[in-house]
Chain A
């Protein structure tokens, strides 16, 4: 079964850091781009970042550039999101997703991990 399982969310103070992890199973992880997408309470989904199969290319939404870093470890079939200098507006459920081979659209999603930035 193709599956993505996120972890690492929690409550953090403004200015703090968190590292989200996403472990994949059931597919050839190293052959797919991977993404992070978030959804703030009461708001729509926002694409956050993605990373190429070999980690050689990474892209970010402007609001997280310089604060968030996406990375991956193909041997561990995992993708990560290091989040620094967190702000209240980063509060959201963060989803890991696999992009299709035919496009850059996510076709497999995890269930999400909740990040709350509050003092």
Chain B
């Protein structure tokens, strides 16, 4: 199975900061990667699919990039509602695999 290594595992930042989270795949996955946001007690929200496509309704401050093995999720200017846990998911081949998650906390 493809391993997805996500970093950092936790991150402290302030409102207005630019934040980057990375996922590295153990083998090439093209651009078959998504990014999710999850808040406590809520269902995950798909932010980015196909590595860089913004899901409908997601604010443009979220962006994704990368292909092959290295991917990034960037939040250009953190808003209070962005403090949550983020994780990646590869859908290149079965079994689909998740990154371990990044908890984004208020500094």
Instruction: State the A residues within 8 Å of B (CB).
Output: 44-47, 50, 59-62, 95, 100, 102-111
Contact A44 B100 (CB under 8 A): yes
Q: How large is the interface on B (under 10, 10 to 19, 20 to 34, 35 or more residues)?
A: 20 to 34
**Which residues in window 85-104 of B have CB below 8 A to A?**
87, 89, 91, 94-101
Q: Distance (Å) between the CB of A23 and the closest chain B CB?
A: 15
**A–B Cβ pairs within 8 angstroms, 15 of them:** A44-B100, A47-B89, A50-B96, A59-B95, A62-B1, A62-B95, A95-B43, A103-B50, A104-B32, A104-B91, A105-B49, A105-B89, A106-B89, A110-B43, A111-B43
SS of B interface (majority)? loop
Whether A103 lies near B1 (C-beta < 8 A) is: no
Partner of A45, one of B1, B46, B49, B87: B87
> Shortest CB–CB separation between residue B55 and chain A, in angstroms?
7
Select from chain A the residue with minimum beta-carbon distance to B85: A44
Residues of B within 8 A of A59 (CB): 94-95
Which of chain A's residues have a CB closer than 8 A to the CB of B89? 47, 105-106
Given contacts A44-B100, A104-B96, contact A109 B49 (CB under 8 A): no
